[in-house]
Amino acid sequence: MTDPPDRGRRFITQIRKARHSGKLPERFRAADVRDACPGWAKSTYSVFLPKHRLGNPAGETVLFVRNEDGSYSLIDD
């Protein structure tokens, strides 16, 4: 697995802070992340979560689990 580049590390840090502060629910979607962590490119919100989900085909760093309803949860939360 590869670690996310610096931008990715900044983004996941912001997501974790939003989750721990209550700005982001336990189960969230890209739109929730966009609302809680504004300022990123529009595509970032829809690409980052599946790219770093458990079972991603590219072997990227696993940060999220995709729930049955299509939402995501932080793995280390």
pLDDT at 76: 81
Dig out the tokens for 43 from the structure.
Answer: 């595509």
- Is the CA virtual torsion 22, 70, 31, 54 positive or negative? positive
Contacts with 74 (C-beta within 8 Å, 6 or more apart), sequence order: 15, 16, 19, 63, 64
**Distance (Å, rounded) from C-alpha 48 to C-alpha 28?**
13
Residue 77 predicted with pLDDT over 80:
no
Domain parsing of the chain, residue ranges: 6-74
Amino acid at 26: E
Answering whether pTM is above 0.85, one says: yes
pLDDT digits (tens, 9 = 90+) for 14-65: 999 999 999 999 999 999 999 999 999 999 999 999 999 999 999 999 999 9
pLDDT at 26: 97
